[in-house]
Structure 1
Amino acid sequence: MLQFLWVIFPYLMLTIFIVGHIYRYNVDQLSWTAKSSEFLEKKHLKWGSMLFHIGILFVFVGHVGGLLIPKSLMESLGVSESMYHAGAVYGGGLAGIITLLGILILLNRRLTNKRVRLTSDTSDLITVILIFLIILIGIYNTLIGNRLHPHFDYRETISPWFRGLLTFVPDPSLMKGVPLGFQLHILISFALIGIWPFTRLVHVWSVPLSYFKRRYIIYRKRAS
């Protein structure tokens, strides 16, 4: 079971992620869109989207630092265990709460606004629910899980396991004693990665950089 959960399943989801994007881009580019529903409802979308995207940026940076930078390197740079823990709890907790508020607004909008709900397909609902669960469990791990398991250090278990995935030498035994909340957070995240190519999340890779260098569009009134 350890081999499946912490080696086979992650690589399977990553393979689907890569192959799925290539397939969809080459076969169905017309669906490569965020399918904006701003014209259906704007107020809640504005606040929900703003909070979610601001929060998720800080969450992403925190995860990169915690998973990819070894504990020994952090300590050699003068970042002690207590300093790192304080930053993870207070900074990560705040970023998580901001992200959670954003996704709650977006989830409520998608479920309760009739016009938005009618334009949503199954993948939209699954995506937003998975993101909500990932964020909720992540906040639980940060604010509560760490207190329930004070001797657990994910930088000595999850982080080296994750780096092993990236270098193709994963050690599933590192995940054996990881608390359930952290395990669920990881597994649901990989599930989201697996369905990513088949949802509107593909719009993340379509950054409109050409917009900043395009010529202005001039509108002139037609002579009567």
Structure 2
Amino acid sequence: MNTLHNFIFNVYPYICLAVFLMGSLARFDRDQYTWKSDSSQLLRQGQLRWGSNLFHAGILFLFFGHLFGQLTPHWIYEYLISASQKQFVAVVAGGVAGLICFIGLSLLLHRRIFDDRIRLTSHRTDLAILIILWVQLVIGLSTLPASLHHVSDPQTMLRLANYLQGLVLFNPDASLVWGVEWHFQAHMLLGMTIFLLFPFSRLVHVWSGFGTLAYLVRPYQMVRARRLNVPANQTLPRRGS
């Protein structure tokens, strides 16, 4: 069990990260026509609009909340907010965002499974990644009661944050995760697996979403109309004449 635990939390994350980066690059280089999120917006537009907006709003908040909340060292914010207060804010904000994301994803999943026309035109990977994300959200929401219980003693949160920060610095310590409640470990394991599956699913369109931020700093393009010097009594020839 110790060997398996060390592999999952010391080695497996880097396998997922390597596949995530190299797989995304290879797909963009070889299969650019598949670099998209297939649209089915002509069917059940109302359900799609509500589901997509709720899902994307929730998932973006959760992503950046996990990114900055877990990877920010404790000494940076300890002068402004205590670890217990940070834990409480994370539970409340994460719970609200998770619930919003869960409702939106459930609408999208229901639409894709129970509408015959959408289901028949959906790729298997589309359904698979939606189901995996839904399970990940359920596991994440199931950690809220334990996280709320940890407010008075936020050592579990600090241990997980230290583990993730060590992972980023290429100095992971799987012992920090040992003994933590199973749903925290399952949430982390499935999160790593989502990065592993990322290049082979429709999730690659996330790169394009972040790529559009380049338009904010792109220089203006000078566009001039081309004028043809045509005498007033002469008309341009028509195509085919």
Question: Among residues 39, 44, 53, which one is paired with 2:42 in the alignment?
Answer: 39
The match for 1:64 is 67
Q: What are the Cα deviations for residues 77-128 of structure 1, in whole angstroms up to 9, with x where unaligned?
A: x202332122112111111110111111111111111111111122111100
The match for 2:10 is 7
Task: Give the paired residue count.
Answer: 213
- Structure 2, unaligned runs of 5 or more: 224-241
Q: Distance in 2 between matches of 1:31 and 1:67?
A: 33
Give TM-score scaled by structure 1 length.
0.87
Using a 3 Å threshold, how does the CA distance of structure 1 residues 166 and 82 change in structure 2: closer, same or farther? closer
Partner amino acid for 2:189?
L
Q: What is the CA RMSD across the aligned residues, in angstroms?
A: 2.1
Offset, 1:155: 3.2
- Structure 1, unaligned runs of 5 or more: 216-224
- Contact 2:84–2:154 (CA under 8 A) maintained in structure 1: no
Partner amino acid for 1:53?
H
Offset, 1:152: 5.6
My pick for the range that moved more, 151-160 or 83-92, is 151-160
Using a 3 Å threshold, how does the CA distance of structure 1 residues 91 and 110 change in structure 2: closer, same or farther? same
Identity across matched positions, percent: 37
Q: What are the Cα deviations for residues 189-216 of structure 1, in whole angstroms up to 9, with x where unaligned?
A: 111110110111111111373889799x
The match for 2:235 is none
Q: Distance in 2 between matches of 1:89 and 1:58?
A: 13
The match for 2:171 is 169
**Is 1:202 equivalent to 2:204 in the alignment?**
yes
The match for 1:219 is none
Q: Distance in 2 between matches of 1:88 and 1:188?
A: 20
**Is 1:25 equivalent to 2:28 in the alignment?**
yes
Give TM-score scaled by structure 2 length.
0.81
My pick for the range that moved more, 206-215 or 126-135, is 206-215
**Is 1:75 equivalent to 2:78 in the alignment?**
yes
User: Counterpart of 1:206 in 2: which secondary structure?
Assistant: helix
Instruction: Say which one has the larger Rg.
Output: 2
The match for 1:222 is none
The match for 2:54 is 51
Using a 3 Å threshold, how does the CA distance of structure 1 residues 162 and 135 change in structure 2: closer, same or farther? same
Partner amino acid for 2:75?
S
Partner amino acid for 1:171?
D
